[in-house]
Chain A
């Protein structure tokens, strides 16, 4: 399916391409195909391609002097995309400890939502989430697929410090804080897995289009995995999926 795209200049040396304003897997796939087609052309003047839910930013090496010409060339690449282009992605199984020592907002959500804590954990760990893109902080994955029954508003006053690895719910989204930072999401657990490592390639194991499943572990298992992660020998479980 080809979408009706809009092209806009973004500053002096970037072009923003936009898809319909929705969060939708069909849009994500289309963005990724377009991104892949542009990078296969190895266009020298393009230094970076970056996408989000419904947008792709094309950053040029220098000031974009002929904006119209660049847009025409991008449009012709979009037209030439092969429809049947398989995208290989991975399903990552992320161990999460939902113990209340980590899940400091579980009780509050449970009271407000009239679901038991174990129901919340079951709903959160049953779903398979799609990675849309990485942004906000190094290694922060924007995930789609949170069960509607777990939608919960962000805190009106953000916490000044949220632990690295905190698994949280903010509005219609769920995610993992990849490093200690301030934040307004509700904390329901913690993972010992590192989502960003400046010293290791790849810096972030998950790519856009990949899937994430959270696997509940006990406090004891959490501690055991953490020792292996810290020693750099933990092997994260994953499966290749073809869709």
Chain B
């Protein structure tokens, strides 16, 4: 079991998401950076869908009530075990009573903590991902006890190497495909959309990232409410762009001008307010 001493700024339990329930209006959810979450799981020999903790900007303080093995991936929030700095992207053994805490954010925005065997909180509609309205809590809270499996074997020597991508934290280029309403934009707006720099606004969450700069002369009409997916970029009547993220609603009425490539959602989720992005059109 893991005891939550301090929850951190915004810490949630996430797996790969809640699939097949979008017909009831339920968001997919799941780790914002699925790549980082799966790296943390893989380095422990877990399966990709094992639940992890997603820690945003400021990490939690956690006490292990049993022996385990952990791996942290994604953003570097300066993790410490019993006050001693530990490495990320590496399997670390923890003993009963050990305290895991975090310090300064060095790079990225969301960090992932995987534990051997995964976090075993209750599944709701086939997923452990927290989402208010489907699960009782939307984040972990002080005093919570997160069930985990007792980890029996010690850390084993690993002979297989895993090359971990880290360049995606620095690059501002977000790979996109044309959205379903892209062709309705006038040529000069299409060009602006794919050349202008956009700043991530303070209005960003697991649901959506709003961008600051407005696209000029927006005359595109609203559509009849239609499906949207994580990574859909909507253009509002005021010219603001909204990038939908993992907890987004299932349908929307704003024109869908771009669609982020799968790995671009991971990349954007490691960025925070004030950072700048550009959209680059790619072919599938």
A residues whose Cβ falls under 8 Å from a Cβ of B: 8-14, 16, 18, 21-23, 47-48, 50-55, 57, 59, 63-65, 67, 133-140, 142, 178-179, 196, 198-199, 203-204
A66 to B41, CA, bound (A): 31
Contact B226 A9 (CB under 8 A): no
Given that A11-B177, A142-B225 are contacting pairs, would A136 and B251 also be in contact in the complex, using a CB cutoff of 8 Å? yes
A93 to B251, CA, bound (A): 26
B residues whose Cβ falls under 8 Å from a Cβ of A: 19-26, 124-125, 133-135, 177, 180, 223-227, 229, 231-232, 249-251, 256, 259-262, 284
Given that A12-B284, A137-B249, A199-B124 are contacting pairs, would A50 and B22 also be in contact in the complex, using a CB cutoff of 8 Å? yes
Contact A16 B227 (CB under 8 A): yes
A133 to B22, CA, bound (A): 11
Q: Which 4 A-B pairs have the closest CB atoms?
A: A135-B251, A57-B227, A11-B259, A55-B226
Q: List 22 contacting pairs A-B, 8 Å CB cutoff, sorted by A.
A: A10-B180, A10-B229, A11-B231, A11-B260, A12-B177, A12-B262, A16-B180, A21-B223, A50-B250, A53-B225, A53-B226, A54-B226, A63-B262, A133-B23, A133-B251, A134-B25, A136-B251, A137-B25, A137-B249, A196-B133, A198-B133, A203-B125
Of A12, A50, A196, A199, which contacts B227 at CB under 8 A? A50
A137 to B180, CA, bound (A): 23
Contact A11 B24 (CB under 8 A): no
A10 to B176, CA, bound (A): 11
Of B21, B177, B224, which contacts A52 at CB under 8 A? B224
The dominant DSSP class at the A interface is loop
Contact B25 A140 (CB under 8 A): yes
A51 to B116, CA, bound (A): 39
Closest to A13 in B: B262
A136 to B241, CA, bound (A): 19
A177 to chain B, nearest CB (A): 11
What chain B residues lie within 8 Å of A136 (beta carbons)? 25, 249-251
Given that A10-B229, A48-B19 are contacting pairs, would A198 and B124 also be in contact in the complex, using a CB cutoff of 8 Å? yes
